[in-house]
Structure 1
């Protein structure tokens, strides 16, 4: 029996779990999904799973070699810039083909009142300029220090796990995990009298209903732009496309 074609998926996203669901049943493949371990109760994909960091680009390159990985897929969050940069360096060092799986960015439609920002500190500046008083902050529990000085505003922070200081002094926390429905998002905006929404351009359908709810309510949305991806890495936008890429790599390996 020939050796399996070994695939490492850097995951933690809906797309990465769907990719594992597609790939794992293929008997020719051995699929390992790697999760960062930043949430206490991650939703585990099928197949082999490892949790935790690799120790930078060198550590990841060592892991790729030690486990004889044949293909690497970066299916992490669009804002996980450190691991994406390390993946590009490690793949080049270990001579392993690399693909990035990125859900498409959100695109504003008629009626949206979007205010772009390059990073969380700029998003805080935009909030001040807008005179925001009751803010629905959906950027996760990391990076709340950027908003800690905004004493005039009250924040509703939604995250999977409870945030740690520093964070805004006037803040309530809503512990929840997507996907989120439109009716639920409408209720949050109405019940908490939200006047401004802050979000990262994560893309995808799981958290998009908040944008629709904000548009219906006439609420401005501060949208943090995505950082640039690693240069030279091919990108696909669906799990099916990523699975097709794996099959092509498998066929090319002989």
Structure 2
């Protein structure tokens, strides 16, 4: 005869299996939705910046501060599951898409990585990774190493990455800031909007490096291409010539074809 304890265990197992099946179906719906969203973004040639980091590092708070979005901010594991994407205007009027993602945790199991593939796919498809580190946490170095391991598991370790050392406001009024472990990082406080301008400038510069160089004289009748360059690219030099607008800068490769009829050599007097 089975005891009441064993019967309860079987009921709990069935409930857990049923809930797992429901979650898998929900995740598949999210995954398909994100796939459509990625295809839509690709058609508009907007660079994508994925906000990543250890859980509770302040990713969603920073996301909200940069985009004026209203993403859930809560101090618990996996508060953000479905990635939220908002448009962001960087310096020089360059447009990009900023995507908030699920927080990483230590020793993330393989099956859990698969379960959250719908949100982690945003990482692998990004043009730039913005890693948010809780600069006030005593284990920030271990958390950073765990993020790097997860990126390696996702085959995303090769992607360009910049670091926001967040929550500097928790270190006191005159904090001793040592960034030697995180070279070329930006110290921020998302809560107090500290360091955000510098962070946006760095994102703009890194995205520009990963675009293709373009020098073109765009006819004045094609003013929409000049506007497109301002919104989607990074302009290093612009001047008005007799034949049209001379633009030297960088663009996403997918937009290069539109400028092929107007390509020209960089004039000797232009230094970029």
TM value normalised by structure 2 = 0.34
Bigger share in helix? 2
Which entry has the higher C-alpha Rg, 1 or 2? Answer: 2
TM value normalised by structure 1 = 0.36
